[in-house]
Amino acid sequence: MAVDRIFKDEASEEKGERARMASFIGAMAIADLVKTTLGPKGMDKILQSTGRGREVTVTNDGATILKSLHIDNPAAKVLVDISKVQDDEVGDGTTSVVVLAGELLREAEKLVNAKIHPMTIISGYRMAAECARDVLSQRVVDNKENAEKFKSDLMKIAKTTLSSKILSQDKEHFAQLAVDAVMRLKGSTNLESIQIIKKPGGSLMDSFLDEGFILDKKIGIGQPKRIENAKILVANTAMDTDKVKIYGARVRVDSMSKVAEIEVAEKEKMREKVQKIIAHGINCFINRQLIYNFPEELFADAGILAIEHADFEGIERLALVTGGEIASTFDNPESVKVGHCKLIEEIMIGEDRLIHFSGCELGQACTIVLRGASHHVLDEAERSLHDALCVLSQTVNDSRVLLGGGWPEMIMAKEVDELARKTPGKKSHAIEAFSKALLAIPTIIADNAGLDSAEMVAKLRAEHHKEGCTAGIDVISGSVGDMAELGISEAFKVKQAVLLSATEAAEMILRVDEIITCAPRRREDRM
């Protein structure tokens, strides 16, 4: 007796060829979707949400595009995940990693159709990836010892990263901003202490880096507008106890004078709390929660600047920057760490007033103020800058640098080709396929720039047969250019992450031979 069904009614399964086809097609479709955003002449995508307000995002950051898509195909989800991980790990190369994985699968599909077993393809890919990684690590440049050269390397990397983004027109300016900000971190990869404030108005060129910390609040009425040698207490506490704060509590009184007594008692309680805070010997009090009129009045009388409702990220950063701690009880002042800075004043950016803290304890912190025509431009500028900051902070730790513009892919492809010639057996086909997939990246960069990609890649390949060649695609002049002269550099860490993640993702999708979809849960079963 044959077992017909083991799954529920609406569950479906696909086996063998069909499952593999579904995986390949899904993954290649995702790669085709983002591949037009690759390179300096890549185009942007508009993403429109179906939610309230129909929000529109304009971006060419691979991870942002893929994050916003709702995808049904399981193999495509794997690619979305690797691009997210690439974004979190090194910040840049989110599009490259998806495109490379897609190309590896496209080549694998041809091999599977030629009756080569997926496991053979996978072991070939493994060998090829190892070989490519070795050749990359032999060709890196490391200028960690020479501060001048290292800084110019960082500038080049920042410019290369920004050149495919919206900031490409002002990349000198923004590369300088990003390098300065990252140099201040002194080797930590914690980007929390770089704050990015977006203010519409002005042009992108008006953006600047501020040494201190800027809090997006106004200074209250009747409070000092400028404080020198500030001692700052950062707190997260309720300053609104002029009501009985027990839910559902009722107070029964037999005359109005009793109500007045309760009010007076509450005011006294508040006054005591304020006295305790003032006893810390501070002249600036910043609270996460609201400060009501009465305590604000008391602070103003004591000549203390009180700022209410500072957003939580602002508070955390401020505590980090001024060297203070966030306090919520004030009974023993000696245990609370108070923050310091040289000057607090109000500044104007565009139409808005903000509070500026300069001369902070921790020299690491700084604020980048972005100006731009609209919110869409500012959001995209922030994403681009964030990518650059991530890459730079990683490069400060791992200072190995490669040339860019399709140069790394060409040298990897050349070595992998050599390996394919030496390898006996069917694996050599897989290794050759790997080198073809690597060539797809320079091909797509050239295609996106409207150049004749077949001719460009053929020229490049011929150039790369010379020893010590530094040729890559120069999309600005539309020919093969010298990457070392043009100053197009990329971080080794980014390239390595792209190579390894893409290979692993392709392997994972290649291993699939069956897709089982669960039956959807029924609503009425719960009754």
Active centre residues (catalytic): 61, 94-95, 387
Q: Are 406 and 441 in contact (CB under 8 A)?
A: yes
- Which helix (H) or strand (E) element contains residue 156? helix 147-162
Q: What is the DSSP pairing of strand 56-59 with strand 45-48?
A: antiparallel
User: What ranges in 279-374 are assigned the alpha helix state H?
Assistant: 293-301, 312-322
The sign of the dihedral angle between the CA atoms of 164, 165, 169, 175 is negative
Q: Which amino acid is at 438?
A: L
Amino acid of residue 447: D
Distances (CA, A) of 511 to 121, 172, 281: 10, 45, 66
CA distance 407 to 468: 11
190-201 as b/e: b if 16+ CB within 10 A: ebebbbbbbbee
Is residue 159 within 8 A of residue 178, CB to CB? The reply is: no
What does the alpha-carbon distance between residue 396 and residue 261 come to, in Å, rounded to a whole number?
63
CA distances from 91 to 59, 300, 482 (A): 15, 45, 26
Alpha carbon of residue 294 to chain centroid: 43
Closest CA to 418 of 127, 141, 137, 138: 127
Phi then psi for residue 47, to 5 deg, are -110, 125
Residue 16's H or E segment, with its range, is: helix 16-35
Give dist(CA 279, CA 276) in Å, integer: 5
Amino acid at position 481, single letter: G
Element (H, E) at 390: helix 375-397
Q: Are strands 352-360 and 366-372 parallel, antiparallel or unpaired?
A: unpaired
